[in-house]
Amino acid sequence: MTPHTPPRSALRRTSRKAPRRTAPVAGLALAASLLVPASLAGPAHASAPAPAPAPPPSRQPVATGSGGAVSTVDPDASRTALEVLRQGGNAMDAAIAAGATLGVTEPYVAAIGGGGYLTYYDAKKRRVYGIDGRETAPGRMSATSFVDPATGKALPFDEAVTSGLGVGVPGTLAQWQSALRRFGTRDLGSLLRPAARIADKGFVVDQEFHDQTAVNEARFRDIVPTRELFLPGGKVPAVGSTFRNPDLARTYREIARRGPGWLYRGGLGAEVARTVRKPPVDPKAARKVRPGLMEPRDLAAYGALSKRPTRVSYRGMDVYGMPPSSSGGSTVGEALNILGNFHLDSRDPVRALHYYLEASKLAYADRGRYVGDPAKVAVPLEELLSSGFARERACLIKPDRAAAAPVAPGSPDGSYTPCVPPGRSTRALAYEGPQTTHLVVADKWGNVVAYNVSIEQFGGSGITVPGRGFLLNNELTDFTLQPPAPGSPPDPNLPGPGKRPRSSMAPTLVLKDGRPRLALGTPGGSTIITTVLQILLNRIDLGMDLPAALAAPRATQRNTPQVFAEPAFIERYGRALAARGHRLEAFPGPPQGVIGAATALEILRPGVVQAVAEPVRRGGGSALVVRPGR
C-alpha cells in the first residue's frame, strides 16, 4: 500500500445519532468516517493499566463545567489553581501557583531546583506562545565532562545522576518570572503563598510519595540535608502520616520578598552553586558523589527563552508544541505528519496502532540524529516538519510488516523523492528519566496553559540545598554522556558550556479555526512523545472521548527493537501486532508496567471545559472546574 492524502477531517459537532460515548462530549466529535463503533467505545476505561487501589475521593479524574478548569497529578495543586481562578486570576497565574504547590507535594518530580517547558494560548491575541525554562550546563562543561579519564568511557549512569556534575542551572523561577511578566495578572509572591502554607502545615503522605521515597532511601541516607528532610526520624514517611517542609516554606517566602534575582544574582544562587561544587555527603558514606562545575556566574547568565512553538496541521486541526531544545514539538509533529498520509479507521485499531508505532520509530530516528539545543547546533526544524520529508518517511512504512529497528534517520535536506531505501546508520536511544509532571489550566477568558516541569529522575540528583527544602535536578544526564566514535555522525546532544540538554517534554495545544480544543501532556522521559501521540490518535482517529483516550492502555516505540507496552495493551493487541512483526515487551518502568501520567482538557463548546486526569496510573490525578455542570 502506498500512502495517500486522506479526506480532510476534524473534531466537529456530535450528531444526535452518534454512538454514546463513555463520557458525553457536547460540541466535539469525529468526522463520520472516523466515528467509533459502540463495540470499541465502551471498554476504553476497562483497558486501563492493571487494577490498583481506587484513588481517594479528593482525586477526581474527570470534571466538566465552566469558569475555568485544571488538571494536575495532585489534589492540593489542583485546588490551589482552582482558588486562583475563582479569585479572578488567569490561566497563567493558576498554572504557576499549581507548579509551586507541586514543588511541595511532589518534590521528587517538581521543584525550583529544576526547569521545564510551557505553551500558552492567549485568547485576546489568538496566538500560541512558548517559554523555555530548560536548565543549562555550566560554562566549564565540555563534551567529555561525563567521561571517566581513567577508562575513557562514560561514567556509570547512576553515578552521573547522583552527583553535582549532573546538576544544570535551574530554570523554573526565571520561567515563572518571564511568564507572569508577559501573560500573568498576579505577582509571584502572592502565587507562592498557598504553597508556602501547605509546606508549613504539611500534607498527608500517600502511597506514591512513600514509594518514591523508598526507591531513593539508600542515596538519600548518604546526603545529609536530604536525609534530614525526606527521612524524618531516619525512616521513610508512612502512608497517612503528615509531611512538613518548613525550610521550603521559608524559601518561598524569601523568594516572594526578594524575587527570583535572589537565585540568579544573589545569596540563594551562591548557596546552590556551593552545594553543586561540594555536595553535602555524609563522611561515613561509601557512595562516590562527584562535585559539579557550577559557579554563581552560571546562574547570573541564565535566562528563560521566549520560543515560537512548532505547528503542524493534522486532520484539519493545528497542533502546537515546544521547539528545540525540546524534541517534543518536532517529534510529535513529524510523527503526525507521517500519520497524516494514511487513512486510519476506528474499525481497525490494530492497523492504526501499527502505523502509530512505525511513525514513532521513524520520527525518533530523526530526533536522535538532528535535534539538540538550536543555540549550539544547527537543527533543521523546518524540514523535519515539512510535508515533503514526512511523505518520504511515510513511504518506508509497510502496511503489514514492521521495519526492523533501529531504523536509520532520514535526510531532511529539502529534496524529497516519493520513496527512499532504508539506511543502516543510526544511534542508540539516549536515556531520559521518566520522572516529571504535567498540568493544564484553562480560564473563563479562554486562555489555556500546558506546562511540563521536572527535576529529571525521581528525586533528581538526590542533593538538597541545606536549609532550603528543595532538591536539585540531574537534567544534564539528558545529554549524550559519551561522544561518538571517530567517523560516526555528529551528535547534536553532547554536553557543552551554556547548552540546554535535549528534552522530550511536550506540552501540547490543539486548535481548530484558531480556537483551542485540546491541551495535553505527560511525564515519562522519552515516552512523553509517544504518550501524547497515542492520546491524540485515540481521540482524533479512534473516536474515543478524552477520558477514554487517557485511560486506554499504552505502548511506546522509540526506535528500539522492542515495543514496550503496558500489560493491558499487550493483552488486547499483542497477538495481532506481533503478526505484523512487532516485538512487544512489558514496559520496565519506573514504575513498572506504567507509561506516563497524563493531564489534559478539552473545550467542549464555548465556555464549557472538560478537565481530565489519570484515573489509575501513579495513584490517579485531580481534575477540577470552577462551576461544575454540563
**Which range among 1-15, 142-156, 195-209, 364-378 shows the weakest confidence by mean pLDDT?**
1-15
Contact 95, 441 (CB under 8 A): yes
**Which range among 23-32, 227-236, 402-411 shows the weakest confidence by mean pLDDT?**
23-32
Determine which helix (DSSP H) or strand (DSSP E) holds 204, and give its type and residue range.
strand 203-204
SS3 for 303? coil
Distances (CA, A) of 210 to 207, 236, 247, 346, 618: 5, 7, 20, 40, 12
For the residues 305-334, what does the mean pLDDT come to?
Answer: 97
Mean pLDDT, the chain, as a whole number? 89
**Which range among 47-51, 423-427, 497-501 shows the weakest confidence by mean pLDDT?**
47-51
SS3 for 353? helix
Q: What angle do CA 37, 553, 621 make, to 5 degrees?
A: 110
Question: Is the model's pLDDT at 6 over the cut of 90?
Answer: no
For the residues 165-173, what does the mean pLDDT come to?
Answer: 97
Which of 436, 508, 527, 530 is labelled catalytic? 436
pLDDT given for residue 618 in this prediction = 86
pLDDT given for residue 36 in this prediction = 29
Give the span between the Cα atoms of 505 and 521, in whole angstroms.
8
pLDDT given for residue 436 in this prediction = 67
DSSP code for 539: I
Distances (CA, A) of 376 to 118, 345, 366, 492, 581: 21, 42, 18, 8, 39
For the residues 579-589, what does the mean pLDDT come to?
Answer: 95
For the residues 379-401, what does the mean pLDDT come to?
Answer: 95
Q: Model's pTM, two decimal places?
A: 0.88
Give residue-wise pLDDT tens across range 258-290.
999 999 999 999 999 999 999 999 999 999 999
pLDDT given for residue 590 in this prediction = 79
In the chain, what is the straight-line distance between the N-terminal and C-terminal CA atoms, in Å? 44
pLDDT given for residue 435 in this prediction = 55
Share above pLDDT 90 across residues of the chain, in percent, rounded to a whole number: 83
Question: Is the model's pLDDT at 45 over the cut of 80?
Answer: no
pLDDT given for residue 154 in this prediction = 95
Give residue-wise pLDDT tens across range 404-415.
999 999 999 999
436 is catalytic: yes
Give residue-wise pLDDT tens across range 170-217.
999 999 999 999 999 999 999 999 999 999 999 999 998 999 999 999
Q: How confident is the model at residue 111 (pLDDT cuts 50, 70, 90)?
A: confident
For the residues 89-95, what does the mean pLDDT come to?
Answer: 98
Give residue-wise pLDDT tens across range 500-554.
999 999 999 999 999 999 999 998 889 999 999 999 999 999 999 999 999 999 9
For the residues 119-140, what does the mean pLDDT come to?
Answer: 97
Question: Is the model's pLDDT at 155 over the cut of 50?
Answer: yes
Question: Is the model's pLDDT at 41 over the cut of 50?
Answer: no
